[in-house]
Amino acid sequence: MTSTSDYYSILGVSAQASAREIKEAYRRMAFDHHPDRNRDNPAAVEAMKRVNEAYAVLSNPAQRREYDALRLQFGAAAQPRYRSGRTEQDIFSGSDINAVFEEMARAFGVRGVDQIFRDVYGPSYQGFEFKRPGLRVRVFGFGRPMRTSGLRDPATGLFAGIARRALQGLKRGRLPADGADIHDRITLTAGLAASGGPYAYFRRQGSKKLIVRIPSGIRDGQRIRLAGMGEPGRHGGRSGNLFLEVRIRKPLLRLAAEAGARLWAKVKDGLSRLTG
């Protein structure tokens, strides 16, 4: 089936794609269609809506199973049948789209989910964040147009039900939780440190290969920060950061010279003790 309304076709993945493949495809397409990168292309907004909806359905195991069943039965007509009678809130409930957008915002300097979704979906989009010691909650959803007065206290106003469910989720351990930062060390040649350029790095956590852009003139002991490349967040929380401490490998001749200098210093110290 190659229907342009089919969720798998929209993301460019097969019906057998893994959850990871679906998420990676969505990241690429969300970045490609991000309104900040398509200011002169009004069609990008509708494309963004399509990829958001496709990901929200296919990344939710229960929704995906239901959509797959309709797909087997109705083929190309599965998507409109699935969408019929469902609200935006039904589609996006429990989605981690907000976390994906925040990753893009940190990595590429584009606007995050709140600003983009208000532009794309209008006043039906609702999002808020509140913080307490040791707790940070971000919730987004769709419903009646917002009254900003209702945002001041998460226990009242339009978000009362959403906030209540979020706090209940805390008791069940399912609230968004940010991932931990990862700290590691890389060793560069003196030439790469001086000129800068790509460096192939293997992150042991999650067995992920990354290409790190080394800035020219980096010095021994400096750190490189890769936003969002740390431990993944849980239940829509933000991913941590990856910090790489740089060590510069010295040329063999210089190492040999330094070793010889240390040895000679010890010999002179021993001779001075004997003759003293």
Q: Where are the domains of the chain?
A: 7-171, 182-253
Residues contacting 256, CB < 8 A, separation 6+: none
In which band, very low, low, confident or very high, does the pLDDT at 149 lie, cut at 50, 70 and 90? very low
Q: Give the mean model confidence (pLDDT) for residues 238-248.
A: 87
Torsions phi, psi for 69 (to 5 deg): -65, -40
In which band, very low, low, confident or very high, does the pLDDT at 3 lie, cut at 50, 70 and 90? low
Specify the pLDDT at position 153.
Answer: 43
In a 13 Å sphere around the CA of 192, the CA atoms on its Cβ side amount to: 17
In which band, very low, low, confident or very high, does the pLDDT at 169 lie, cut at 50, 70 and 90? low
Using CA of residue 53, residue 58, residue 60, residue 65, what is the dihedral sign? Answer: positive
24: pLDDT strictly greater than 90: yes
Superfamily (CATH H level) for 7-171: DnaJ domain (1.10.287.110)
In which band, very low, low, confident or very high, does the pLDDT at 53 lie, cut at 50, 70 and 90? very high
182-253 folds as HSP40/DNAj peptide-binding domain (2.60.260)
Specify the pLDDT at position 22.
Answer: 94
| Beta pairing class for 223-226 and 182-189 | unpaired
106: pLDDT strictly greater than 60: yes
In which band, very low, low, confident or very high, does the pLDDT at 15 lie, cut at 50, 70 and 90? very high
| Per-residue exposure over 199-222, b if at least 16 CB sit within 10 Å of its own CB, e if not | bebebeeeeeeeebebeeebeeee
- Max mean pLDDT among 38-42, 110-114, 174-178, 219-223 falls in 219-223
11: pLDDT strictly greater than 80: yes
Q: What whole-number distance in Å separates Cα of residue 149 and Cα of residue 14?
A: 45
Specify the pLDDT at position 253.
Answer: 61
